Amino acid sequence: MSLRDIQEEGRCREEGSHWLFFSDVPSEQAEAQSICARCAVKVKCLEVALAEDIEWGVWGGVIFWDGDPFHRRRSRGRPRVSDVDLPLEADRKELLELVASV
């Protein structure tokens, strides 16, 4: 499966808010992640993004920032209660497990 296939099958295409997936605003990235959470191809999307060394955007519910994948990006202030136990960074296996479990 390629990135083009993912983009054609993913919820990101259906939602009409493609720009959210390439925002640098943490709240908009979180909104993109919530769209990914309801997507049937989120794990495949993440696998392809990791294999392709994506530099930027939200792919499979993971934020890619300067080529590094983050489960979430820390914003200013206190984290939301629901995010307290979620890691900022994770290795590839942990990311795939986190995305599959959401």
Cα 84 from Cα 92, distance rounded (Å): 21
CA neighbor of 100 nearest in space, from 46, 57, 49? 46
Q: What is the pLDDT of residues 79-92, one digit of tens each?
A: 556 555 554 556 67
Where are the chain's structural domains? Answer: 3-101
% of residues, the chain, pLDDT over 70: 75
pLDDT for res 19: 85
CA distances for 40 relative to 6, 7, 36, 83, 101, angstroms:
10, 12, 8, 23, 12
Cα 95 from Cα 101, distance rounded (Å): 10
Q: Rounded to the nearest 5 degrees, what angle is found at the Cα of 14, between the Cα atoms of 42 and 86? A: 35
